[in-house]
Structure 1
Amino acid sequence: MQLLIAVLRGQPDLAAGLQRYLGALLTARDHSFLYAESGILANTGFFSELRHRLGNRVLPPVLDPRFLRDLLDEVFDEDDDATWLAHITPELWQALLDVLACADSTLHHIRLELGEALRILACRLAALGLEPDMVRYYPALVEYGSPFLAQQREMEQVIADLQQRNGDAQAVAIDSAHADVLLDQCRDVLARIRRQSRDAGAAVKLTWHLTRAEQIIERMHTMLGLLKPAEATPRVTAAMQFLIELVRAEARRNSVRDLVSGVTDLLSMQVTEHASKTGEHYVARDRSEFFAMFRKAAGAGVIVAFMAIIKMFITSLHLPPLWEALGYSLNYGLGFVLVHVLGFTIATKQPAMTAATLAAALDPRKGSAGALDELVETIAQVSRTQIIAIAGNVLLALIVSCAIAFAWPLVFGAPLIGTEKAGHLLHDLHPLLSLAIPHAAIAGVCLFLSGLISGYYDNKAIYNRVPDRLRRVKWLRRLLGERRLDGLAVYIEHNLGALAGNLSFGFMLGCMGTIGFLLGLPLDIRHVTFGAANLAYGSQALGFQVYWVDALAVSAGVLLIGLTNLAVSFSLALRVALKSRRVHLAGVRALPGMVLRRFWQRPRDFFWPPAE
């Protein structure tokens, strides 16, 4: 840049030629769509935009010589162009503009194009203010004077004033103060809608509208600032920042990652928020809750012992792969739903919920010191809750499975399983001679996904008002009566997510082996509670005549399967929860040391609740 400025200063004819060329280039192209669309979500919707971006990555669009936006794509065609542009100082930009001495006609054309872009954005913002999803959360938009409509009328006055002066911003100061105030009022409405959506649910469509409206308001503020009279250097700085913003936006124009992460933030926040509310029920704060958790986990262990028998029965039928996968899925899914309906709990499902609870303790709105102290206490509570829940699941699964295996021959006259099947069950639990640990990690991923599904359907139940819509189903009202239907609606409101999460988790577990078979990959699942049940059935079938080294290895395998289930699901869930709340790990670097100090001072709290 310094060399270019020196050459142009030394050869005025070259400077004049470059100035004429740039002036002709800028005045011949349409600017408005660059200013009004670059870096702003389209009005097509999330999934249409996703398909559009994927298509453009495969086949780039044709450049149109009529638009400045396409010229920007042609000139700044590297992803890092915005980076080196940002390193050029405002003084160098000012020196370049001084030596080029842009003609007034070019500057007037740019200002008029800014005005046209403002008109486009004002109309689009007004239309967004009338979207049904926005009005639903903020009825005042149609009941009273809407700032979205008012800003459009005010912007027309600003644009008319600009056009009367032929784009000369220095002739008379542009009176855009009222327009700025109305835009700020629009931003306040969007903030209120975001807050209300935390309680009333959110959807991708609503998030799309909110994000797009916020981007439009920010762009309009920027362009109004460029049209106001200002000192030369601050104006150049603002203009160059705007140029860099446009270049960066065009470089990321077809980025799928930016689209997904930028639009789904509110929805992911809602999913993890509902998951954290559910996770609060999985944290034992005192001894009464601690022993209650053991009883719930013990009940689930009893049911899993019978689910393991049903799975072995389905396996013995040697069904075709599709029907076998369906049988496994229904066994797992309906079994987990029964566990939830009866008020029991599966220990490995807790991390996906408690991770969101831990992330909630790190909410940026709380003080950092208080948040970390609260988080350390929550970690201690979660630790002992997980331990007692796993103990309840595993102990009861072992005891009930052994009891069933001993009673089976007495009732049916034959052993439950043969020695060959018993050896196969124990081999699948061996941490070194089988893929038990990788398969446990796959089960951990399924646990994480089921937690997301649970939070998603809890959010969906609120956003789509499922309970209220159930009460309007006439045949259900005739079948159940008003009182029972109301009870069903209340139950669905509080349990739809858990039912959907448990059922989907069961289907993921049931289909994983068949998917591996179809793909020719060693895919399968290992779950600690089912592993404990299989350990009991296999050992009893062999008359507990297992070499002590193998018995120790298989028992360790069950323990490692449980740890892997918990570690994988918890780490994935915590990462999503922290990201949704925009919590940076750099802000919690002191956390490991605080947890270690707490463990050193009071280790018992991590395993046993303190006195009341």
Structure 2
Amino acid sequence: MPPIRRSLRAPQAQLDPSIRKELGKGTITMEQLLCQLADPNANTTRLLTQLIDEIRPADAHDIDTARLHMARLSEILRDRPELRAALRDAITKLAQTHRHIELYTVTGILPNTGFVAELVRRIGHKLLPEVLDRGLLRTVLRRMYHQASDRHWVGGVGEDAWLELITAMRFDEVAASETMPPAAAEILRSLRVLSYWIAAGGVEPELLRLEPSLETYESPFLAQNVEMTAYLKATPEHWGKAPGDADERHLRVLFGQCQDVIERVRNTAARDGTSIRLTYHLQRLRQLLRRSEQLLDILEGVQNDRSGVAAYPPIVKLSMQLTCDECLRDNLRKHMRQNTELIALRVTDNASHRGDHYITNTPREYWSMARSAMIGGGVIAFMACLKLLLVGTQMPPLTGAILFCLNYGLGFCLIHILHGTVSTKQPAMTANTIAASIEEAGGKLRNIEAMTDLIARTCRSQIVAILGNIGIAIPLAALIAWTVFKIGGTPFASPEEALYLLEAQSPVHGGAVFYAAIAGVCLFISGLISGYYDNYAAYNRIPERILQLDWPRRLFGESRRRHFATYVGDNLGALAGNFLFGVLLGGTTLFGLLLGLPIDIRHVAFSSAFVGVALVGLDFSAHLSAVVWAALGVGMIGFINLSVSFALAMDVALRSRQVSDAQWRTLGRSVLAHLLRRPMDFFLPPRTGGA
């Protein structure tokens, strides 16, 4: 065996002897496999699978080892012309003898069957694997990368490592054919199928409803199919010659116009409402267009450089993507997450518009938010006292839970009608607004400084809302309890009950922190509910449908009917979210009772009101330590309420826009730096009108 002249001496010098020994074993095995590939009767698929097994690291996340194995294989191919010829011929044979269409048109593209059907299919294939068609290139790929964890190292080694490997195979050593190779013909067939699907997707009824110009003027979705047909006909005739009619530039222009239509429809849907089906359909159209462009990139590279070297980058990029997608073909978690992101995008697009009202920019808006929060705190004080009265009646659990739900739900709706603010309702809405400012395409952050400033404005708006709620809830609840005592002569809460109320808010005498987290989850869910019903009202044109009813006009008159229809359209999501948030809070205790679990909720505004009632019950004097712990508990409850609901809402909103963890960390570092540099921005408004 000839020595490896251009070995990885520098990297190996840094490895321990056991790893170098393992790499040495891999080298011998790789060479033996490559020698066997030269046998015309060899099982090519099996040998290539074994070759991938030699590259595969023991730990799929061990990217460095995988990269070293690939570098060693590349070194062998560069040093041994007969071995690289064997590997090159084997890959060419597979490409010429297997069908490509399903790999290019199905792998990594959302199915047209919908969420439930695809979920059932994946579960069925998990329980009983499907029979693979040996004539498909997709089947070969599955067998070569037969471990689902392969996606980690395949994508982790990076495009450069794969480019080095394909370059080492020296496909340019093979004389270019004057006729179209079978692999290029397979790409053309795949482009035909993709074009048909794009054209069919462009005439979906929901798409036409939101973009009427597709019916009035020539649709780019249909025009691209006409152009694609001409391109597919001309390409074989002009293979190896000047592009002529086989120029794909006009196709790319039409693909760009299709993307523009999709973006317009998405923006319209964000304003006028959308459906899960439409969101799913738009995402699938994007994938079809992207796959078509990737295949055109490969054909363009091959035609511009007959050696094929120019086509290496698009081939590597698409191959890595297809491999990773095939590894996840039956993955239930990916399917659930992918569709959850689509639903989240649908909801957050609408919730984000409402979140603008919870973020202040100027001092005037800041103090207006404070006054609005005071209204909310006043209503909550009455709601808290009413709950204590209901608790004192010793009702059956189910009856009590229903009344608690009505107390919470109707009270929150009343706050909204009175233009008040509940501080903890803000995070789920403002998180969507922050996420909506992130560019959807690729989830790229447009302007880190602008995003950081938006988060700072959000924080100070939520802080003043909490202070407004607490600042009114505590003294007003205490005033109500004192008034009841003076009028009736009976304490609103006995000393024992008052002490219990204080201990219930304490972070050390009970599960207040855990219960506050449960309330935070309820807040997050209510934010999604608000977004859903805002979208529902817009998409189903609820105001317009109300205006078609005659009986409201006969009973209330035309002016009141129009005012009511407008109010429902603007506030259905807020009212539904507030009422159902109340149902969640009121029903949590009953849910825990039914399951035998110690589940309860703690909401910062209600906890502060209970502290006010307890102070009157203790005559403002005794149990100073309990009061101090309760005050600390209220602060912690508020922090947990806000942080849990905001974190959950932000996570869903960012995932729906496919923002990477690295970008999220970049934003986090920017926020921390802003906090250290200008901390007052997070607490007080600017002196001038700007934020």
Task: Mark yes or no: TM-score above 0.5.
Answer: yes
Pick one of 291, 302, 306 that aligns with 1:231: 306
Aligned to 1:594: 674
For 1:357 and 1:241, the matched residues in 2 are separated by: 34
8 Å CA contact 1:93–1:236 kept in 2: the answer is yes
| Deviation (angstroms), 1:561 | 1.7
8 Å CA contact 1:441–1:568 kept in 2: the answer is yes
For 2:391 and 2:306, the matched residues in 1 are separated by: 80
Write out per-residue CA displacement over residues 122-165 of structure 1, whole angstroms, 9 at most, x where no aligned residue: 111111010012112221211122221122233233334467x6
Relative to structure 2, which stretch is displaced further, 131-140 or 110-119? Answer: 110-119
Structure 2 residue 664 is matched with structure 1 residue 585: yes
Write out per-residue CA displacement over residues 531-557 of structure 1, whole angstroms, 9 at most, x where no aligned residue: 122223233234445222222222222
| Deviation (angstroms), 1:240 | 4.1
Identity in percent: 37
8 Å CA contact 1:207–1:264 kept in 2: the answer is no
Aligned to 1:539: 615
Pick one of 88, 96, 105 that aligns with 1:36: 105
For 2:437 and 2:269, the matched residues in 1 are separated by: 20
Q: Report the count of equivalent residues.
A: 603
Write out per-residue CA displacement over residues 569-588 of structure 1, whole angstroms, 9 at most, x where no aligned residue: 23333444445553823443
Matches within 5 A, 1:438-517: 438-517=514-593
For 2:27 and 2:394, the matched residues in 1 are separated by: 78
Structure 2 residue 39 is matched with structure 1 residue 14: yes
Structure 2 residue 640 is matched with structure 1 residue 564: yes
For 1:513 and 1:60, the matched residues in 2 are separated by: 44
Partner letter of residue 447 of structure 2? Answer: S
Relative to structure 2, which stretch is displaced further, 567-576 or 328-337? Answer: 567-576
8 Å CA contact 2:198–2:288 kept in 1: the answer is yes
Coordinate RMSD, CA, aligned? 3.7
TM-score normalised over the length of structure 1: 0.86
| Deviation (angstroms), 1:609 | 6.3
Do the aligned partners of residues 21 and 13 (structure 1) sit closer, same or farther apart at CA in structure 2, a change above 3 Å counting? closer
Aligned to 1:427: 503
Do the aligned partners of residues 74 and 194 (structure 1) sit closer, same or farther apart at CA in structure 2, a change above 3 Å counting? same
For 2:552 and 2:122, the matched residues in 1 are separated by: 44
For 1:540 and 1:12, the matched residues in 2 are separated by: 88
Structure 2 residue 267 is matched with structure 1 residue 195: yes
Matches within 5 A, 1:205-604: 205-228=277-300, 229=303, 230-232=305-307, 233-259=309-335, 262=338, 268-269=344-345, 271-359=347-435, 368=447, 371=450, 374-375=453-454, 379=456, 381-412=457-488, 414-580=490-656, 582=659, 584-588=663-667, 589-599=669-679, 603=680
Where in structure 2 are there 5+ consecutive unaligned residues?
1-25, 45-85
For 1:66 and 1:15, the matched residues in 2 are separated by: 19
Partner letter of residue 598 of structure 1? Answer: R
Structure 2 residue 276 is matched with structure 1 residue 204: yes
Where in structure 1 are there 5+ consecutive unaligned residues?
none
Aligned to 1:155: 228
| Deviation (angstroms), 1:310 | 2.7
Aligned to 1:111: 184
Write out per-residue CA displacement over residues 289-318 of structure 1, whole angstroms, 9 at most, x where no aligned residue: 444333322222222222223323333444
Partner letter of residue 529 of structure 1? Answer: A
| Deviation (angstroms), 1:479 | 3.9
| Deviation (angstroms), 1:432 | 0.6
Do the aligned partners of residues 116 and 320 (structure 1) sit closer, same or farther apart at CA in structure 2, a change above 3 Å counting? farther
8 Å CA contact 2:108–2:325 kept in 1: the answer is yes
Write out per-residue CA displacement over residues 240-279 of structure 1, whole angstroms, 9 at most, x where no aligned residue: 4433332122112234454455556576456445444433
Do the aligned partners of residues 70 and 611 (structure 1) sit closer, same or farther apart at CA in structure 2, a change above 3 Å counting? closer
Partner letter of residue 229 of structure 2? Answer: E
| Deviation (angstroms), 1:11 | 8.0
| Deviation (angstroms), 1:60 | 3.6
For 2:264 and 2:437, the matched residues in 1 are separated by: 23
Pick one of 50, 66, 69 that aligns with 2:138: 69
For 1:99 and 1:6, the matched residues in 2 are separated by: 22
Do the aligned partners of residues 412 and 478 (structure 1) sit closer, same or farther apart at CA in structure 2, a change above 3 Å counting? same
8 Å CA contact 2:402–2:586 kept in 1: the answer is yes
For 1:303 and 1:496, the matched residues in 2 are separated by: 21
For 2:415 and 2:620, the matched residues in 1 are separated by: 30
Write out per-residue CA displacement over residues 335-390 of structure 1, whole angstroms, 9 at most, x where no aligned residue: 10111111111122223333445556676999737526744xx62x5454434433
Partner letter of residue 611 of structure 2? Answer: L
TM-score normalised over the length of structure 2: 0.77
Write out per-residue CA displacement over residues 388-430 of structure 1, whole angstroms, 9 at most, x where no aligned residue: 4333322322222223223324545544344443332222112
